[in-house]
């Protein structure tokens, strides 16, 4: 059936199946979704939404440049050396931030891009700023369901990213597209901040029905709560408003069309 691969994927969680891929450098936290053609880097032209982001580079960069330092959250996972600031646009399936209406053009653009993976709670859209002398140590992300886009906004010399065995450099106004289920690490050896817009897309080998089912499964309130705390723990001094907003919106989304269709929730928003 149309959901056979989803069933096999969910069964792998219960069976304790391994998460290693064909490459020794692909080891996400979750089991590998079967049948996807995973590879470290993708060409930007493979995803139509990438061109839409690049076409709006000037607007996106201007909105990023307008943000005050106080608008950012400090992100400090164990894999990071030096300062990492993030400004959340979409996080854990919820539009951010709860306060104000900053970056309206970028938010509106995100709502129009095809193939975007932002209702799924492990898909994000955010501005990411690395200080000079920053090093994000080698690690893999949680799953192989997404393809991550980095739109370069400000890139001093000396910045690079390794995904798998290949190292590339960003170019301002252009996107790098890669799968973060592969081991990756990032350097800013320059003397200024490096800033990018991160946007997650669905892996192109997933069908529409599979994407919908995966979204419904991981957006289930009881499921999302299990990893909500884990994700927020990496934020230093995360404002209570962020957690409250996530919790409130997660409860509201229980009554969305997709959740009702898969979980038979009695009310529809």
pLDDT in tens, 109-154: 999 999 999 999 999 999 999 999 889 999 999 999 999 999 999 9
Residue 185 predicted with pLDDT over 70: yes
Domains of the chain: 4-205 (2.60.120.330)
The overall average pLDDT reported for the chain is 91
Pairing of strands 73-75, 175-178: unpaired
Write down the pLDDT at residue 118. 96
Indicate if the pLDDT at residue 15 is higher than 90. Answer: no
Indicate the range of 56-60, 65-69, 74-78 predicted with least confidence: 74-78
Judged by average pLDDT, the poorest of 56-60, 148-152, 189-193 is 189-193
Per-residue pLDDT at 75: 80
pLDDT band of residue 233 (cuts 50, 70, 90) is confident
The whole-angstrom separation of Cα 176 and Cα 235 is 25
Q: What is the mean pLDDT of residues 160-174?
A: 98
Average pLDDT over residues 49-55: 98
* pTM beyond 0.75: yes
* Residue 136 near residue 79 (C-beta atoms within 8 A): yes
Of 61-70, 80-89, 181-190, 215-224, the range with the lowest mean pLDDT is 80-89
Closest CA to 126 of 144, 154, 149, 146: 149
């Amino acid at each position: 059936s149309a959901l056979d691969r989803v069933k096999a994927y969910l069964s792998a969680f219960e069976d304790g199946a391994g998460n290693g891929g064909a490459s020794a450098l692909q080891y996400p936290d979750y089991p590998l979704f079967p049948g996807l053609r995973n590879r470290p880097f993708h060409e930007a032209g493979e995803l139509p939404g990438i061109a839409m982001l690049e076409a709006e580079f000037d607007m996106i960069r201007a909105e990023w440049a307008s943000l005050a330092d106080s608008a950012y959250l400090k992100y400090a996972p164990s894999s990071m050396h030096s300062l990492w600031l993030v400004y959340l646009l979409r996080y854990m399936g919820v539009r951010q931030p709860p306060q104000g209406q900053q970056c309206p053009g970028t938010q509106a653009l995100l709502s129009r891009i095809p193939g975007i993976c932002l209702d799924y709670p492990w898909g994000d859209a955010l501005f990411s700023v690395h200080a000079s002398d920053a090093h994000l140590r080698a690690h893999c992300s949680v799953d192989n369901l997404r393809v991550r886009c980095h739109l370069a906004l400000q890139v001093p010399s000396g910045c690079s990213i390794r995904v798998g065995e290949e190292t590339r450099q960003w170019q301002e106004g252009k996107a790098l597209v890669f799968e973060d289920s592969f081991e990756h690490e990032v350097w800013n050896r320059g003397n200024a901040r490096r800033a990018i817009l991160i946007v997650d897309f669905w892996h192109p080998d997933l069908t529409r029905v599979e994407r919908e089912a995966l979204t419904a499964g991981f957006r289930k309130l009881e499921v999302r709560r299990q990893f909500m705390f884990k994700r927020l723990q990496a934020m230093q001094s995360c404002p209570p408003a962020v957690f409250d907003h996530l919790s409130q919106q997660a409860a509201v989304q229980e009554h969305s069309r997709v959740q009702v269709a898969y979980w038979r929730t009695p009310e529809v928003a």
